[in-house]
Amino acid sequence: MIDYIKGKIVELNPTSVVLETGNIGYSIQISLPVYSALADTEEARLFVHEAIREDAYVLYGFRTQGERQLFLHLISVSGIGPNTARMILSSYSPQEIQAMIAAGDVAALSSIKGIGAKTAQRIIVDLKDKVLKTASGELSGGIQAKPTEGAKSEAVSALVMLGFGAALSQKTVERIIKQDPSLSVEQVIKQALKMM
């Protein structure tokens, strides 16, 4: 497996770069922030993810190992392919994406081209624990999963889907968050279920 490629930039456009090293040119798919970072440089080192399929061998490049790890988390979600993950990374910084996932911000995630509300919810459900585990790592500055307006609405929506009334769910969630604003969405839902 290739961990990173370091070489001379031969060709650069908003979606890909060709790095030459050892007389071999590697075509690497990149996000817009990587393109911006490489715009004024002659050489680069990109951490790589190799996507090997029956019909293609594609390399995806990232500035940091943390950015690559977030990409790998995103493509592990059902319905998110490499190009959609690249679109997500082009729309927001890795820290902003982690914060959205940690806060359960469905609206912000679904504002990204190609991401609907259901896909945004799936990203949050599948990746929230992974993002919170890496929150103290290199990619983020200690993200806390405090209930925001998006997280409140997520908790209320979950309760409504479970068959509880919207008004009762809203009041219960607000009461729980008022008592302890540091609770995660899952903790809020669990407490609400005990109270209802």
Per residue in 132-189, pLDDT (tens digit) is: 776 544 443 333 444 455 667 777 777 776 677 888 888 888 888 888 877 777 678 7
Give pLDDT, residue 134.
62
Query: In whole angstroms, how far apart are CA 133 and each of 97, 127, 181?
Result: 14, 10, 20
Per residue in 111-125, pLDDT (tens digit) is: 887 889 999 999 999
Q: Higher model confidence: residue 150 or residue 102? A: 102
b/e map 127-147, b = 16+ CB within 10 Å: bbebbbebbeeebbeebebeb
Domain 4-62 and domain 149-195, same fold? Reply is no
Find the range with the poorest average confidence among 34-48, 77-91, 98-112, 138-152: 138-152
Q: What angle do CA 121, 90, 93 make, to 5 degrees?
A: 75
Minimal CA–CA distance to 144: which of 175, 190, 185?
A: 185
SS (H, E, C) 42-84: CEEEEEEEEEECCCCEEEEEECCHHHHHHHHHHHCCCCCCHHH
Per residue in 53-74, pLDDT (tens digit) is: 889 899 999 999 999 999 999 9
Question: What residues contact residue 163 under an 8 Å CB cut-off, 6+ apart?
Answer: none
pLDDT band with cut points at 50, 70 and 90 for residue 24: very high
Pair type for strands 57-62 and 4-13: unpaired
Task: Give the homologous superfamily in CATH for domain 65-134.
Answer: 5' to 3' exonuclease, C-terminal subdomain (1.10.150.20)
Q: Is the pLDDT of residue 126 over 80?
A: yes
Q: Is the pLDDT of residue 32 over 80?
A: yes
pTM attached to this predicted model: 0.67
Q: Higher model confidence: residue 134 or residue 34? A: 34
Q: Higher model confidence: residue 38 or residue 164? A: 38
Q: Judge: domain 4-62, CATH 3.20.20.80.
A: no
Half-sphere exposure of 8 (CA within 13 A, CB side): 7
- Give the span between the Cα atoms of 48 and 21, in whole angstroms: 14
For the structural domain made of 149-195, what CATH number should be given?
1.10.8.10
Give residue limits of the domains in the chain: 4-62, 65-134, 149-195
